[in-house]
Amino acid sequence: MSSMTSTVDIQQAVTTDAFDLGPARALSCRECGHRIPLAAEFACAECFGPLEVSYDFGDITRESIEAGPRSIWRYRGLLPVPSNVREHPNTEPGMTRLVKADRLAAALGLKSLWVKDDTGNPTHSFKDRVVAVALAAARELGFRVLACPSTGNLANAVAAAAARAGWESVVLIPSNLERAKILTTAVYDGALIAVDGNYDDVNRLATELAAEHEDWAFVNVNVRPYYAEGSKTLGYEVAEQLGWRLPEQIVIPVASGSQLTKVDKAFREFGELGLVEATPYKVFGAQATGCSPVSTAFKGGHDVVRPVKPDTIARSLAIGAPADGPYVLDAVRRTGGAVEDVTDAEVVEGIRLLARTEGIFAETAGGVTVATARKLIAAGKIDPDAETVLLITGDGLKTLDAVQDQIGPKATIPPSAAAVREVLGH
Amino acid sequence: MSSMTSTVDIQQAVTTDAFDLGPARALSCRECGHRIPLAAEFACAECFGPLEVSYDFGDITRESIEAGPRSIWRYRGLLPVPSNVREHPNTEPGMTRLVKADRLAAALGLKSLWVKDDTGNPTHSFKDRVVAVALAAARELGFRVLACPSTGNLANAVAAAAARAGWESVVLIPSNLERAKILTTAVYDGALIAVDGNYDDVNRLATELAAEHEDWAFVNVNVRPYYAEGSKTLGYEVAEQLGWRLPEQIVIPVASGSQLTKVDKAFREFGELGLVEATPYKVFGAQATGCSPVSTAFKGGHDVVRPVKPDTIARSLAIGAPADGPYVLDAVRRTGGAVEDVTDAEVVEGIRLLARTEGIFAETAGGVTVATARKLIAAGKIDPDAETVLLITGDGLKTLDAVQDQIGPKATIPPSAAAVREVLGH
């Protein structure tokens, strides 16, 4: 695997002491393998392929991890962050619950099921993980402003992390965003700027600004290689929380596809480092039918992911041209998994099924994951007898619109016990 | 302290093997001391005083706690729950972050400040703690339905915990409740019933139903003595997370007042059990001026808390006749603390101050706590050189209405870098 290749080559190519980013040693192109020193770069100068962090991991043991803090920083020896990362204020996300989901398992016909509930993070989505890593790397790389284009969870996470660190933030959003999502970002008092245009317009503006402002770290643009590594912690935590072993099957929502590829990377790293037995596992990708370019490519047997125009209630997954789509296909095919997609109606059913069986209220992306798992079980792709993990990466409180027409009180009654008895039939 | 009195008397009075509620041995009246066996009772038959759980704690050590799960069940040896509590599904709340809040400390002029961020719980408030304990005790006491009257956080917590356990739930709410709060309870698919009336009407109906239905556990009515003990875990966690010691000052929001008295109880228990050194600490209570009966009594030097009609945006604290008000006064006066109240405008400032300094978005009750701390510092009641903890017990995502008129984007611009430069001045 590229991230574990011999360190000799790497050390010849770079000045390793330019930045203290822990075990990170270089950036390498995922397409052509070209290596450059650690820097705020995200595209290969040779082939324009995406750059990824390469490491020289030292001696990492279960004991050294277990002795660490109850946050993603227990894995700092596996992340591109300074060794003193805990000395600067950050949001310290991670170590969210891994819930044994027996009632959901029964409803789905599975023998053994776990739900990784990432709604417990500081701003209630997995984005706190990637942003915390981006902030730590950005500080070391010399940035002083944390920025992003976003339509939701990422905006919350960037504004909150910058506030905690005492950094300025610049968050760009489409001006027609729902009021609730504006408020949950604006409260952190950074520079929240509404842009008249769609998300593509906002994204293009971010890329332009990143080139202009050398001290602005756009977490998902110019420091994306570091940012993306934060998703590995989801995989590390699942393995550690299972008692230092890998699950047999895992279902992961696919937006850009980065998260799925990083969880796969985490499992491989743990195996190669001897932290877990390198047992086989299958990775499954979940998309909403209204934005399912990776699922379409998978089912069509294609290597190329054809962009689509998103139309789904699962807005946090609505990336029509997913940058890591091809790598998702690689990981899923290599492990024997699959990618599937579900309708918006099935997404709402998925949210409600998880809520009523396990008391966990997921955002639409979580509904996609649950509903896709159900579809894959029915199709015989997910083995009901193999241990399965579902990643729930965001909170239903942020996507109330998706369920508001489907649920409500059982009845509205006068204040009398007789009226309650009548409603309940007892 | 009543909870630690000799077990000899207690064991004579009760059949201790009737229920396995761990270290709990009896219910005793806080007013007259009358003891009864463990049961689903909440008021003393002799004097109508409130009943409280009495214990016979076994050998509890730091090591035995540290070896436990990362949830409130690590303290099960100190709670009225069965020793096998973890064998039944429950929400497993607790062990939320204790955040070193240096930027907020600087803003407030404090030397050392911590924020206990209970928004990380499963339904994002401390209510998950008390409901989890109530559910565990209710199961052992023979109940089969989990119920409550509520206007918000409690409704979420009860519906979610019942869903996870596979229990029926009955949640009674005023029919004019905000749509968002209805949705975040309805999604768990219990019997959510809207009642045409105010919260007092709903509460009376709950008491009537509790008397009628012997298998319904109204968490804050007929199993209240067990439920209330769940708040002790906030105190236990603060002490453990500080490295097994007590803070010098702690600021706690006051609704019924139960939480404040239980945190105080937790600190005393830890001291008496030798888990921490019994160092002095001061407990401060925080209320909104629009519902400040306890603050009024404190400042007036009264022992009696005179009921008020609430009128404040801090709805989760809006209990006009707080059941534990007198015990709050006792705890605050005994420890040398104070009770203070703040206006709704100060509440919003408190929410915003916490958000922009620490990246934590609290509900209105959190704004009350922060603003009250600021007021007590200015008045010289809180010592700026003594280590202080603020309890943040609920999430801003649930009370967006409170801030919506105060915050928003810095600007709305066309999608151009020049426009961004103009807004930011760089």
- Where are the domain boundaries for CATH 3.40.50.1100 in chain B? 97-124+229-402, 142-222
State the average pLDDT over residues B150-166.
96
Given B89, B159, B172, which is nearest A103 (Cβ)? B89
Give contacts of A161 with chain B, Cβ < 8 Å.
359
Q: Does B167 touch chain A (CB under 8 A)?
A: no
The predicted structure's pLDDT at residue B7: 39
| Residue A261 structure tokens | 């590829």
Q: Does B186 touch chain A (CB under 8 A)?
A: yes
The predicted structure's pLDDT at residue B237: 98
The predicted structure's pLDDT at residue A151: 80
Q: Scanning the structure block, which residue is given the tokens 């698919």?
A: B189
The interface residues of chain A toward chain B in range 209-238, judged by CB-CB distance below 8 A, are 209, 212-213
Nearest to B295 by CA among B306, B281, B311, B282: B306
The predicted structure's pLDDT at residue A11: 39
Tens of pLDDT, residue by residue over A188-241, are 999 999 999 888 889 999 999 999 999 999 999 999 999 999 999 999 999 999
pLDDT at B178 exceeding the cut of 90: no
pLDDT at B312 exceeding the cut of 50: yes
State the average pLDDT over residues B248-272.
98
pLDDT at A245 exceeding the cut of 90: yes
> Which residues are registered as beta bridge partners of A251?
A284, A390
State the average pLDDT over residues A36-40.
95
| Residue A364 structure tokens | 């639409």
* Minimal-distance CA residue of chain A relative to B186: A408
Element (H, E) at B284: strand B282-288
State the average pLDDT over residues A294-320.
95
The interface residues of chain B toward chain A in range 407-426, judged by CB-CB distance below 8 A, are 407-417, 420, 423-424, 426
Edge-to-edge strands, sheet with B388-392: B97-100, B113-117, B388-392, B249-253, B282-288, B338-342
Would you list the DSSP string of A143-194?
--EEEEE-SSHHHHHHHHHHHHHT-EEEEEEETTS-HHHHHHHHTT-SEEEE
The predicted structure's pLDDT at residue A13: 39
**Beta carbons of B212 and A417 less than 8 Å apart:** yes
- B249-253 and B388-392 as β-strands: parallel, antiparallel, unpaired? parallel
B142-222: which CATH number, 3.30.70.890, 1.10.10.10, 3.20.20.70, 3.40.50.1100? 3.40.50.1100
Q: Scanning the structure block, which residue is given the tokens 């105080």?
A: B264
The predicted structure's pLDDT at residue A17: 57
Tally C-beta pairs within 8 A across A and B: 232
Q: Does A162 touch chain B (CB under 8 A)?
A: yes
> Which residues are registered as beta bridge partners of A253?
A286
* Distances, alpha carbon A76 to alpha carbons A20, A136, A310, B144, in Å: 12, 11, 36, 46
ipTM of the complex: 0.94
* Distances, alpha carbon B70 to alpha carbons A86, A350, B81, B273, in Å: 21, 28, 17, 21
The predicted structure's pLDDT at residue A15: 44
Tens of pLDDT, residue by residue over B38-66, are 999 999 999 999 999 999 998 999 999 99
What whole-number distance in Å separates Cα of residue B225 and Cα of residue B25? 13
Residue B45 DSSP one-character state: T
Q: Cα B221–B224–B226 angle (5° rounding)?
A: 150
Cβ contacts of A335 within 8 Å, gap of 6 or more: A264, A280, A281, A282, A283
- Where are the domain boundaries for CATH 3.40.50.1100 in chain A? 97-124+228-402, 142-222
User: A42-51, A209-218, A416-425, B12-21: which range is least confident on average?
Assistant: B12-21
pLDDT at A66 exceeding the cut of 50: yes
What percentage of residues in chain A have a pLDDT greater than 90? 92
| Residue B422 structure tokens | 């103009």
CATH fold of A97-124+228-402, please?
Rossmann fold (3.40.50)
Q: Scanning the structure block, which residue is given the tokens 């009407």?
A: B201
Cβ contacts of A421 within 8 Å, gap of 6 or more: none
Torsion of CA A314, A315, A320, A324, to 10 degrees: -80
The predicted structure's pLDDT at residue B17: 57
The predicted structure's pLDDT at residue A56: 96
- B145-149 and B216-218 as β-strands: parallel, antiparallel, unpaired? parallel
* Mean per-residue pLDDT of chain B: 94
Q: What is the CATH number of domain B97-124+229-402?
A: 3.40.50.1100
Under the banding of pLDDT at 50, 70 and 90, the label for residue A179 is: confident
What whole-number distance in Å separates Cα of residue B77 and Cα of residue B3? 14
